[in-house]
Amino acid sequence: MIHIENIRKVYRARGRTVTALDDVSLHVAPGEVYGVIGRSGAGKSTLLRSVTMLERPDRGRVVVDGADLSALSERELRAARQRIGMIHQHFGLLSSRDVAGNVAFPLEVTGTPRRERLKRVAELLDLVGLGGLGGAYPAQLSGGQKQRVGIARALAGSPSVLLSDEATSALDPETTGSILALLRRLNRELGLTVLLITHEMDVVKNICDSAAIMHDGRITEAGGVRELLARPGSELARGLFPLPPPSARPGTTVVDVTFTGEAAEESPTRFVAALARTYSIDVDILAGSIEDVAGGRAGRLRIELPGSPADNTAPLAHLRERGLTLEVAA
């Protein structure tokens, strides 16, 4: 649905150059929720703004729903943007217009007749759970309500793609949860493809099917969330299920076990118990967390086995056979 191919963007200001996007490629499949995660300054915002050419990349191509946006004229580009929804960290609502007026804005831009506009606005407000609030002004709304207005406005043109620029970063955790649930629902019910950028691992954990990690203008990891979790040394796995820094006591082996896919459907404690029974060893659980991610259970567990790693080749091989990803921490 969205194909970003080898885009590059360099900013020059007062003799300094900053490479915001360094040969970035990204492919978002139709109907999925794709998250790009990274620290501030990693280039995420530039990436998202490049998708609609709000920021024109120096090189590379962006194809959305079959249209190569990088090749369009300004006029054609405006028409293309009208078919892409976007929501923003600070909502971007017009303070001079009430809620209904804000949602109607993109419809006015496309020249939709008034009668049709009113009907569509009412539908959209119901869809995002703001029915009855059409006459309120943004200043009277909570952050969560404002973002719901932003979402309703983004959907006004019935887009197939929704771009989310840190849409929950200005919200408290509870409101974040409700906005993410709304995005998930819209993704499922309308078949909406979502590309979001965030610095919160929780957002990825909650709603993303696929994810990419960005550092200094480059994508360092990308793919399905569950595949990434199963990849040894995955930064995403460490980020989603953080464990404290390992501190192995001498004569022991500390192993970080990542559960995904089928292996995670069985209770992790059962692995530990089976391990202890089969090899007659004491297995300690030092830390761990297990949650539902991308529609299945996943988690990480740090366990401690007696003896050096060399002594534990058999138990470790046993765990690997059962489909678990292992990282020997010490």
List interacting residues with another protein (CB under 8 A): 52, 54, 77-82, 84, 86, 88-98, 105-106, 108-110, 137-139, 153, 157, 163
Report yes or no: 194 and 48 within 8 Å, Cβ to Cβ: no
For another protein, the closer of residues 54 and 63 by Cβ is: 54
Rounded to a whole number of angstroms, the minimum distance from the CB of residue 153 to another protein is: 8
Rounded to a whole number of angstroms, the minimum distance from the CB of residue 189 to another protein is: 22
Helix axes 114-127, 143-154, angle to 10 degrees: 130
Rounded to a whole number of angstroms, the minimum distance from the CB of residue 149 to another protein is: 11
**HEC letters along 129-176:** CCCCCCCCCHHHCCHHHHHHHHHHHHCCCCCCEEEEECCCCCCCHHHH
For the CA atoms of 208, 212, 216, 220, the dihedral, rounded to the nearest 10 degrees, stands at 150
User: In angstroms, rounded to a whole number, what is the distance separating the alpha carbons of residues 271 and 318?
Assistant: 10
SS3 73: coil
Taking alpha carbons only, the member of 179, 197, 123 closest to residue 153 is: 123
For another protein, the closer of residues 80 and 201 by Cβ is: 80
CB atoms within 10 A of CB 145: 19
For another protein, the closer of residues 103 and 275 by Cβ is: 103
Rounded to a whole number of angstroms, the minimum distance from the CB of residue 329 to another protein is: 44
For another protein, the closer of residues 143 and 157 by Cβ is: 157
User: In angstroms, rounded to a whole number, what is the distance separating the alpha carbons of residues 150 and 117?
Assistant: 16
Rounded to a whole number of angstroms, the minimum distance from the CB of residue 209 to another protein is: 24
For the CA atoms of 320, 322, 323, 325, the dihedral, rounded to the nearest 10 degrees, stands at -40
For another protein, the closer of residues 105 and 279 by Cβ is: 105
Residue 244, burial from CB neighbour count under 10 angstroms (0-12, 13-18, 19+): exposed
For another protein, the closer of residues 171 and 237 by Cβ is: 171
Rounded to a whole number of angstroms, the minimum distance from the CB of residue 62 to another protein is: 14
Rounded to a whole number of angstroms, the minimum distance from the CB of residue 96 to another protein is: 5
SS3 2: strand
Q: How many residues does the chain have?
A: 330
For another protein, the closer of residues 137 and 279 by Cβ is: 137
